[in-house]
Amino acid sequence: MIIDDIKNFLVEKNLRPIAVNAERISLYYQDREEGYYALLVLDCPMGSEFTAQQYQNIKRQIYESLVRNSTKRIYIHTILVTENTSAASRITEKEAESWIIDTGSFRLIIYENQRYDFIGIRRAMEDFLLKEYLPYAENEEENMPYEAIRPTKKSTLSRYFSPVNTSIVLLNILVFLVINTLLPVRTEDILVTKGALSWRDILENGEYYRLATYMFLHSGTDHLTNNMIVLLFIGDNLERAIGRWKYLIVYLGAGILAGGASILHNMIEYNNIISIGASGAIFGVVGAMAYIVIANRGRLENISTAQLVLFVIFSLYGGLTSQGVDNAAHIGGLISGFILAAVIYRRQKKSHIGMGGNYED
């Protein structure tokens, strides 16, 4: 049976089983230096074997039991093994610390708001399901949630390139190519001048659209390339962590607020200059990522607090020691992104579960 194969797979991945005196409930753990990681596996083929309240009671009991036996921070993640994904998703209410294994199509389902990985087993589990079971399900067509990550050949690119962030990168490249290759030089100058940040034009002429257009304009190939490389890496991680629409809000919101910081600074200093580039919005993405890494206690996927701090320090230092860099936009974007993430990102609280022999209804 697939549930037995999954249990064996987890043991092979160095997860140690914990005896639980309850049907359809299995518990595994890894004891690491940074914390105690527990993986709860619920065998619910019909999706109605547990209610949401029962599930929360199970988690609470397990958590309380683990806390009594460990002084480390407890991390708990749940995997539902089911053929009825719609019903099963109501058990955990699609909380961030849960996944579903669909035994009908033999795929791992991870919703948009859910943890992308847990102790490094996601990719191995997807490969395990592909190798062991997918050949038997080649002719089955299942209606899957649009936000699910499905380990098929068609979804390979989506594992590495998130849709909104990739679209923003492509839009920046397209705008640059159109302006710099298809338009006459004079037209190019007019477009850049008309779309750039300028506190006089915004405040005196009411050209507020510049707060949005400036972040899609770049001064040259190097300017564009440097910004897009950083955005591809950081932006992809952020979008996976918070979802596409929240990511779009952070990117555009931080970019606009970064532009506001820039024009405020230049107005106070009476600098009659214009600014272009996506770096203000990108610093907003970095700021948002910093908040989320902190909210996730120091790490998210392959990014740690130390890595982000070093990136921010080197980036700001490079800007402060270089000519022609809009540091006000960078700092404004960084702070704005952090604040926006604090407002819109709600990290699911760890479910508190326990290892009791019975669970309450």
112 DSSP assignment: T
* Cβ-proximal residues to 208 (8 Å cutoff; 6+ apart), any chain: 202
Query: Strands, DSSP E only, in the chain?
Result: 16-18, 25-32, 35-43, 74-82, 98-102, 107-109, 299-300, 303-304
279 classed as catalytic: yes
Residues recorded for the chain: 361
Closest by CA position to 359, among listed 4, 16, 20: 20
Of these residues, 262, 279, 336, 351, which one is catalytic? 279
Give CA–CA dist 12/258, Å, rounded: 49
DSSP label at residue 142: -
Number of helical (H) and strand (E) elements in the chain, helices listed first:
14, 8
Kindly state the tokens that stand for 66. 């683990």
Contact 312, 291 (CB under 8 A): no
344 CB neighbour count, 10 Å cutoff: 16
Q: Which of 330, 336, 351, 352 is catalytic?
A: 330
Q: 98 an active-site residue?
A: no
> Which amino acid is it at 51?
T
Gap between the Cα atoms of 361 and 26, Å rounded = 19
Q: What is the DSSP string of 309-357?
A: HHHHHHHHHHHHTSTT--HHHHHHHHHHHHHHHHHH--PPPPP-BB--S
Token representation of residue 323: 């000519």
Cα separation of the two ends of the chain? 28
C-alpha distance from residue 170 to each of 79, 82, 281 (Å): 36, 38, 15
Beta bridge partners of 76: 38
Residues forming the active site? 279, 330
